[in-house]
Amino acid sequence: MKFDNDLVSIITPTYKASDYVGETIQSVLDQDYQNWELIIVDDYSSDGTLKVLEGWQERDARIKVIPAAKNGGPAIARNLALKTARGRWVAFLDSDDIWMAGKLSKQLVFHQTKGAIISFTSGRRFQGDVSNYGHLISVPKEIRYAELLGNTVIITSTVIVDRNKTGDFKMKKVYYDDFACWLDLLRSGGLAVGLHDDLLRYRVLPGSVSRNKLRSAKEVWKTYREIEKLGLLASVKYFFSYAIYGTLKYKKL
């Protein structure tokens, strides 16, 4: 498939996001880089999310809403969006997160100068009002497959993937579909580069994955053993590293 070289395809799965998805969409509209398409797949919401999305779609032709026929989870929703994405650049933005001004333009320049497969940025977590944000989450200058196994530092809503380097790709239907995808893309020696710039507000919701540390730890372990097929000793080594970095990452809001 030939991709549109300058187009950014933004992938957004939604599920019962009617209360905050408007802020997410507005943060895309406010970007100074305007050559984008926002592909939103609603995962069979029952709270009026689809109606809200259709209202935004009517305002701007670059917003494309795809209603799922049934609830399938974020991986399937993201894959539905990826099937229709036309851009060389694939950006991910979850329906409760907010991009900061200039995010796309700054990151695209950075990504192109580095020649990497994936780029990602720093950001801050927040609860309730966006002004109630925490410390800036640091990111490394670069990270490869083995390093990513022990440091889940890549925040999905900051990611841009260069499909001229990866070709078409898709998510696996697993709990951490995003983490598994980045590992897939980097496994053969690819490079991910981090832009240490405050370009995201990451919303923390009650009951979210990031709040359930025990469940998160179990799923990371399953990623090592069942998806990446790592041996016991290697899994223990990477899990120890993951635990240390995770503690530092979430030491405060």
pLDDT tens digits, 98-123? 999 999 999 999 999 999 999 999 99
Checking if the pLDDT of 211 tops 90, the result is: no
- Token pair 């019962």 is found at 16
Helices (H), the chain: 21-29, 49-59, 74-84, 103-114, 145-149, 163-166, 177-186, 213-222, 232-249
Average pLDDT over residues 69-78: 96
Average pLDDT over residues 10-38: 98
pLDDT tens-place string over residues 132-150: 999 999 999 999 999 999 9
**CATH annotation of 4-249:** 3.90.550.10
Q: Residue 43: which pLDDT band, with cuts at 50, 70 and 90?
A: very high
Give Dmax over CA atoms of the chain in angstroms.
54
Name the residue among 137, 120, 155 with its Cα closest to residue 252. Answer: 137
Q: How long a stretch of residues is the chain?
A: 253
Domain boundaries, the chain: 4-249
Question: Residue 64 is inside which H or E element, if any?
Answer: strand 63-67
Name the residue among 149, 133, 15, 7 with its Cα closest to residue 80. Answer: 15
